[in-house]
Amino acid sequence: MLSICAKIGYSTTIAEVEMNFRKGQTYGICGENGSGKSTLLRTLCGEIHPIDGYATIDDQSVTEPSSIGKIIKISTPEFYPDISIGEHFKILTKTTKVDYDDAIKRWNLEKLLEKSPNRVSSGQQQRSFLALQLGVKCDVIVLDEPERHLDSFWIRILSEELKDRAKSGTTVILASHSQEILKVCDEVISLERYLNANK
């Protein structure tokens, strides 16, 4: 189980958050810009430490070496600059032993495999990045606005993908402004109430 009981922020506290995230459930984090959604996700992933308190997975701090690989964070697409999208898939196939054939078909990437990520549209980049990252096995997937640059059709595909991952036992936590994405969540958490509690 992934748990947090902490004050989150950088130099000053944005909110005090206490949550438990159960296996195989999908959680949506919503709130206005600046409410702390991305900060909460970064804290859950161990990218930043809580100002006070803890964030743990299986009773170990998310920043401990034993937690490496249990949580994957998907945010702004990042690619190696000098290799094609297809070569990205080949590298991950070797290092993660994931068969990406189904993901390539699901995300309609066949015509993009020979192209550089810098030579495709932002929507195509996002689809390629989601296909690459969602194929990796882990206990928890954390996504920061995964719907960016996707039209309504691809948001539906993403929603189905997230439901499939949760059914397989993965905990899915996402920050989103999309009602279509939030509809697939078992629980939607508004950070506004945590902010208001601290005023």
CATH number, domain with residue 138 = 3.40.50.300
Q: Please tell me the pTM assigned to this model.
A: 0.90
Q: How high is the pLDDT of residue 171?
A: 97
Q: How high is the pLDDT of residue 159?
A: 94
User: What is the average per-residue pLDDT within 160-181?
Assistant: 93
How many angstroms separate the CA atoms of 113 and 87, rounded? 8
User: What is the average per-residue pLDDT within 150-158?
Assistant: 95
Q: How high is the pLDDT of residue 27?
A: 97
Q: Determine the structural domain holding residue 187 and report its residue range.
A: 2-197
Q: How high is the pLDDT of residue 142?
A: 97
Q: How high is the pLDDT of residue 11?
A: 82
> How many whole angstroms from its chain centre is CA 174?
6
Q: How high is the pLDDT of residue 106?
A: 92
Q: How high is the pLDDT of residue 99?
A: 80
Count of domains forming the chain: 1
Confidence band for 33, pLDDT divided at 50, 70 and 90? confident
> How many whole angstroms from its chain centre is CA 160?
15
| pLDDT for 157 beyond 60 | yes
Confidence band for 136, pLDDT divided at 50, 70 and 90? confident
User: What is the average per-residue pLDDT within 145-162?
Assistant: 94
| pLDDT for 124 beyond 70 | yes
User: What is the average per-residue pLDDT within 78-85?
Assistant: 92
| Mean pLDDT, the chain, whole residue set | 91
| pLDDT for 199 beyond 70 | no
User: What is the average per-residue pLDDT within 114-127?
Assistant: 95
How many angstroms separate the CA atoms of 171 and 193, rounded? 23
